[in-house]
Amino acid sequence: MPVSTNPDVMEKLVSLCKRRGFVFQSSEIYGGTGSVWDYGPLGVELKKNLKDRWWHAMVRARDDIQGIDAAILMHPRVWEASGHVAGFTDPMVDCRNCKKRFRADDPKIKGTPGTPDAQCPACGMKGTLSEARLFNLMFKTFMGPVEDTASVVYLRPETAQGIYVNFLNVQQSTRQKVPFGIAQIGKAFRNEITPGNFVFRTREFEQMEMQFFVDPQSDHMQWFEYWKAQRMEWHHGLGLSPERLHFHAHTADELAHYARAAFDIQFDFGGTLGFQEIEGVHHRGDFDLSRHQEYSGKKLEYFDQPNNRRFVPYVIETSVGADRTALALLVNAYREEEVPGESEGRTVLGLHPSLAPIKAGVFPLVKKDGMPEMAERIAAELRRRFPVFLDDSGAIGRRYRRQDEVGTPFCITVDGQSTQDGTVTIRDRDTLQQERVAGPFVGDYIMERIGN
Ligand code: GAP
């Protein structure tokens, strides 16, 4: 794993996210729920903007991908077919002394768990680590009023299976021809053993997944390469620094049970976390569709009419976490800097304007001479097109700082001249340059700069 040369900003981000309403700990007033987080007013906008960009790039802007929204609860046999009941387990060891739990392959464990010389990495005691035991990562619940083994269902640990079981429904209802894809965004749940690092690894998270169905007799590796390149380009388009992104190829040992080939797109989160996966691009072969055919007894073959051929397609999957990518965006955007000519520095979230939760701050310079009324009129007009924040309290410099810190790309000031000639100043978050623009053109000016 390459060592990061970027600073660790996680602690500062966690604090900013709470203070400014991006992310709160779930059920905080009860002491919090382990590794579950709630998105506040600004966080929900950021994540929604991110998901909208993905949906646009993967579904709306293409004619070969269809969107769906499958249910979280699925037939329990789905998870037998997918391999999750048998294979979605991690070997774990428990410390009898400090009660902490670790992955059996944790490099910090010295010695062999279960033997007297094995040492707990947390409390340092020797001989207290249990032997490795398998631990299933799926959340179980019960459907219906009776809690018995017949009513066990699982919260889905990935959204992909909702796509496989609907493969023919979508193909036949839309008359798509192979190669084509199905995409969805939705919640997934994993009883992670070692969650942490804020929203990086949580027990409830959102995935944006796309399964692309290809003819096994075609050059399917070419599609794998195509999707690798497309997905990396998408991350660049979000404004993630190219030098903080790279591919990591899975070795034979790392490949998931379903995968023939896999690459992670990793982002450098800085500090000790360093480069970590934010997206997986997987060649899943015909594993999933074949298994669902076998377990359901229903054919999941595609009929290639021109060639009068039936086949089970291969699948190229792209799977990206919305929460993890939102965290990458925040880490990438966070900076503290001096401001030329000013004694106080500033904290900035240099988010791409299309991702920023608030697009413009609107400030009356002073609370008199018609400036508040004009600012209110402009804010109301702009709010019909994008989120704005009207702020009339405190020195103008402070108001700029408050917007810089949440990534607002533009700040509009209504000053003495505005009430005379109808123009306002628009300050750019990054260059600090100000331009004077006529009131009626402010909306178009900003929309043009938000771009895609
Ligand atoms: N369908 C394939 C699949 O689920 P994965 O590599 O296990 O593959 C894909 O997950 C993406 O989902 C990851 O790259 C990550 O962004 C996100 N993800 C997985 N587990 C997560 C967790 N516990 N918390 C937050 N995001 C997670």
Residue of minimum CA distance from atom 7 in ligand 1: 158
To test the pocket of ligand 1, the residue of 165, 189, 199, 319 to mutate (highest count of ligand atoms within 8 Å of its CB) is 319
DSSP helix/strand/coil, 158: coil
pLDDT at res. 443 = 97
Q: What is the position in ligand 1's atom list of the atom closest to the CA of 264?
A: 14
Amino acid at 21: G
> What length does the chain have?
452
Consecutive 10-residue averages of pLDDT for the chain (452 residues): 82 98 97 94 98 98 98 97 84 86 86 92 93 87 89 96 98 98 98 89 97 97 98 98 97 84 97 96 97 98 97 98 98 95 92 98 97 98 98 96 98 98 98 96 96 72
190 Cα to the center of ligand 1, angstroms: 9
- CA nearest ligand 1 atom 14, residue: 279
pTM, rounded to two decimals: 0.92
Cβ–ligand 1 contact at 319 (below 6 Å) = yes
Structure confidence at residue 106 (pLDDT): 85
In this prediction, residue 452 carries a pLDDT of: 61
Q: Is the CB of 415 under 6 A from ligand 1?
A: no
Task: State which amino acid sits at residue 264.
Answer: D
Check residue 1 and give its pLDDT. 53
Question: What angle in degrees, to the nearest 10, is found between the helix axes of 41-55 and 220-237?
Answer: 140
| Choice from 205, 227, 316 to test ligand 1 binding pocket (greatest atom count within 8 A of CB) | 205
Q: How far is the CA of 139 from the centre of ligand 1 (A)?
A: 15
CB-based burial label for 275 (10 Å; 0-12, 13-18, 19+): buried
At residue 136, the pLDDT reads 84
Distance of alpha carbon 141 from alpha carbon 342, whole angstroms: 57
Q: Which pLDDT value is given to residue 292?
A: 98
Pocket lining: 183 vs ligand 1, CB cutoff 6 Å: no
Atom 10 of ligand 1, nearest CA residue: 319
Q: 193: closest CA among 291, 303, 93?
A: 93
Contacts of 420 (CB under 8 A, 6+ apart): none
Residue 94, amino acid = D
